[in-house]
Homo-oligomer: A and B are copies of this chain.
Amino acid sequence: MRRTFHRAPEAERRQELIAATLDCISELGLKGATVREITARAGVTAGLVRHYFETKDQLIAAAYRSLIASLTEKAENLTGDPESRLRDFIVINLTEPVANSRSLSLWAAFISQVGSDPVLAAVHREGYLAFRDSLEGLIADFRVLRGLTADPGICRAQAIAINGLMDGLWLEGCLAGDLFADGELIRIATGSVEALLGLSLQGAG
């Protein structure tokens, strides 16, 4: 007797498959994300993948797009004045759900393939540049607020430095969050961004 099943709406089932894929990758790595393991976690059988994705690689690429969106959407939709946006930017990127070991595992798994997989490389660069551009705009706005020039060369250099700092602290936090006291990373990040900008962030720490 064949097992009973539920017919799900297309968008919903696609999303379930993508979520199961990310679960597999974070727990078992890319090589553990087999069609059988993915579909088992999604509660369906292996054949169904081909109904929603032309190939397994396309499912993987869709999962990467989904991950990038979840890691960047909060930081790209900030509201308020430039100063509070900058403070929120720091906090969001160094606290859950952006900063945890699962995010790092996923991010690293895909990054390791970006150099050799053109499809993933395209997905990556698109998301990366958008992220850095939004940070550069944020810095320019903040400088203007404090009466400084928004000189493109300066903004670019500061965006590169602060982007690097935030990436690195995010890494440290994900890899060994237990080595830091509560709020320590955010305090260090805030002080460092102030030092790099040469400006103080009122209301911080």
Chain-B contact segment, one of A25-33, A44-52, A65-73, A76-84: A25-33
Given A164-B169, A167-B172, the answer on whether A115 and B30 have CB atoms closer than 8 Å is no
Within 8 Å CB of A53, what residues of B? none
Is the C-beta of A137 less than 8 angstroms from some C-beta in chain B?
Answer: no
Within 8 Å CB of A165, what residues of B? 161, 164-165, 168, 192
Min distance, Cβ A75 to any Cβ of chain B, angstroms: 15
Min distance, Cβ A49 to any Cβ of chain B, angstroms: 17
Count residues of chain A with CB under 8 A from any CB of chain B: 46
A191 interface neighbour in B114, B128, B157, Cβ under 8 Å: B157
Min distance, Cβ A55 to any Cβ of chain B, angstroms: 15
Mask: chain A, 181-204; 1 = CB below 8 Å from B; 0 = not: 000010011011001101000000
Q: Are B157 and A164 in contact (CB under 8 A)?
A: no
Q: Are B163 and A168 in contact (CB under 8 A)?
A: yes
Within 8 Å CB of A30, what residues of B? 29-31, 112
Min distance, Cβ A120 to any Cβ of chain B, angstroms: 10
Q: Are A108 and B101 in contact (CB under 8 A)?
A: no
Is the C-beta of A104 less than 8 angstroms from some C-beta in chain B?
Answer: yes
Within 8 Å CB of A113, what residues of B? 29, 105
Interface centre among A125, A160, A166, A169 (most CB of B within 10 A): A160
Q: Are B31 and A116 in contact (CB under 8 A)?
A: no
Q: Are A161 and B188 in contact (CB under 8 A)?
A: yes
Given A29-B112, A30-B112, A111-B104, the answer on whether A160 and B172 have CB atoms closer than 8 Å is yes
Mask: chain A, 153-176; 1 = CB below 8 Å from B; 0 = not: 000010011011111110110011
Is the C-beta of A61 less than 8 angstroms from some C-beta in chain B?
Answer: no
In the complex, besides A30-B30, A168-B171, 13 extra interface pairs with C-beta distance below 8 angstroms are A27-B116, A29-B116, A31-B31, A108-B109, A108-B112, A128-B175, A161-B189, A163-B168, A164-B166, A165-B165, A168-B169, A171-B171, A196-B196
